[in-house]
Amino acid sequence: MDRWWKSAVAILAFSLLGTSQALAGPLAGFALRAETTNFAFFTRGSARFDVRRPEAQLARVEAALGHHISTRVDYYVYERAEDIATTTGRYAGGLTFPELSQVHSTSASQDHEIVHVVAHGLGDPGPFFQEGLAVALGDRGRWQGQPVDRVARKLTKASTFAALVAGFDPADPREGYAIAGSFVSFLIEAHGLPRVSHFFRACQGARSTEAAFVAVFGTTLDEAGGDWLRAL
């Protein structure tokens, strides 16, 4: 279990390293448009945005996860995923770089990305859980307009849980995100959100994600994955 999990984390870290280094410091072409308690908002041109929505979402997520961010976040506002690709080199509706306290997002991905802002401060169990939590809380258990369980049910019939997680690609936000969101939603329903939040925290000092999972949930990842597959 640890081998394929560590491989997924390593791939994500490697893929984001060059991007995050390139985005360090002020970004050319953007201007500071507004500041709130927790965010500094940057835009190109005269794009419109509502500073109240990110603050309200942040407050909801902080309360739900029992964690408050300690630094102000630079929030770059975009109208299209194509514009994010021009700046970051990755085509996405939203990207969060926690090591830079930086969010790049369209309005549609805003709630998803703000979950990342808070969750990364808790601890990092890896991209599968990070994206799963963001889908469960930020996207409210839906992916591309469909309930995540409905999408996952179609994709999991001929696969094991380990294979599903090993095949998860955080840089390819398609069906894999629905699978991650479905599994994390299952954990929330079965154990409660405070326990899931505790699991994220436990990953800070644990020797592995698997060890933290067993300590918090009392079962292995494979066992929990089997329970989830049978419940779909």
pLDDT confidence of residue 169? 86
| pLDDT tens digit sequence for 141-161 | 999 889 999 999 988 876 788
Q: Tell me, what's the pLDDT at 20?
A: 55
Q: Which long-range contacts does 76-85 make (Cβ < 8 Å, 24+ apart)?
A: 76/27, 76/30, 76/42, 76/43, 76/102, 76/103, 76/104, 76/105, 77/33, 77/41, 77/42, 77/43, 77/47, 77/49, 77/105, 78/47, 78/104, 78/105, 78/106, 79/47, 79/106, 80/106, 81/106, 83/44
Q: Which of 18-22, 202-206, 213-217 has the lowest mean pLDDT?
A: 18-22
Report for 18-27, 28-37, 110-119, 205-214: range of highest mean pLDDT: 110-119
Closest by alpha carbon to 166, among 150, 180, 181? 180
pLDDT value of position 25: 61
pLDDT for the residue numbered 6: 38
Residues across the chain: 232
Q: Lowest mean pLDDT: which of 18-27, 102-111, 218-227?
A: 18-27
pLDDT for 1-11, tens place per residue? 344 333 333 33
Quick one: average pLDDT of 197-201? 97
Look up residue 88 and give its two tokens: 């970051």
Question: Domains (ranges, CATH) in the chain?
Answer: 2-9+123-231 (no CATH), 16-121 (3.40.30.160)
Confidence band (pLDDT; 50, 70, 90) for 22? low
The predicted-structure confidence for 160-196, as pLDDT tens digits, reads as follows: 888 888 888 887 777 899 999 999 999 999 999 999 9
- What was the pLDDT predicted at 24? 60
- Residue 99 DSSP symbol: G
Which carries the bigger pLDDT value, residue 12 or residue 23? 23
